[in-house]
Chains A and B, each alone.
Chain A
Amino acid sequence: KNQVEQSPQSLIILEGKNCTLQCNYTVSPFSNLRWYKQDTGRGPVSLTIMTFSENTKSNGRYTATLDADTKQSSLHITASQLSDSASYICVVRASGGSYIPTFGRGTSLIVHP
């Protein structure tokens, strides 16, 4: 069964600090992995997409990594800001024509001033 597990479930950090969120998956065959940011009361918005051949991709202060061998991804946030407070969701797609991605439960990040 395709599964996506995220850790930690929640995280509280001080503004300006860095943090790393983890995503482990069992989706196979692998097509791509996206990290989404979901602000309270809003829909998820894509931050990055990782394909099999990519192992690092940055989007501003967000850097995603992918290890396709161990089926792990991480999202690193540098110099956190209050606006980074949100839920971060890891979403993995299988290849072979599958159109329903598998969602993780998300990591809830709170950034305190």
Chain B
Amino acid sequence: GAGVSQSPSNKVTEKGKDVELRCDPISGHTALYWYRQSLGQGLEFLIYFQGNSAPDKSGLPSDRFSAERTGGSVSTLTIQRTQQEDSAVYLCASSLGSTGGEQFFGPGTRLTVL
């Protein structure tokens, strides 16, 4: 596709359930980022993938959060045993991989935990 896509666009779940959020980056982009955006807050870094290198997981808020990137392309962010404070918009971005490169964002997944 022409841009970064994310699915689902909206997800409503019950507290304690697991959720999976998907990101399809722009073809050829080696760098992939996950961010969380809560209402009125700036983007919060979660995890960064670059090529085949080990991901930078330093932004993950707890061990309930994990992410993987298969074949250097599609990425899945998994939140286990969701809590109400996990409610937010989860944004994925990809870039060509240079440290100064523009990040292209997907439309985000709005997660609501009841």
Listed in ascending order, the chain A residues whose CB lies under 8 Å from chain B are 4, 31-32, 34, 41-46, 49, 89, 93, 95, 97-101, 103-106
Contacts and interface: CB of A to CB of B under 8 A. Distances in A.
A43 B42 contact: no
Contact of A98 (B4, B31, B50, B99): B99
Nearest to A105: B42
B105 A45 contact: yes
What interface size band does chain B fall in?
20 to 34
Contacts of B91: 43-44
Kindly name the residue among B42, B56, B93, B108 whose own CB sees the greatest number of chain A CB atoms within 10 A: B42
Contacts of A98: 99
B40 interface: yes
Contacts of A46: 102-103
Nearest to A51: B100
Kindly name the residue among A31, A99, A103 whose own CB sees the greatest number of chain B CB atoms within 10 A: A99
B25 interface: no
Given A43-B91, A99-B31, A99-B48, A105 B99 contact: no
B100 A31 contact: yes
A82 to B, nearest CB: 21
Given A31-B100, A93-B100, A43 B108 contact: yes
Contacts of A34: 102
18 contacts: A31-B100, A41-B108, A42-B107, A43-B93, A43-B107, A44-B105, A45-B105, A46-B102, A89-B43, A95-B99, A97-B99, A99-B31, A99-B48, A100-B56, A103-B43, A104-B42, A105-B41, A105-B42
Interface string B4-44: 10000000000000000000000000010100000011110
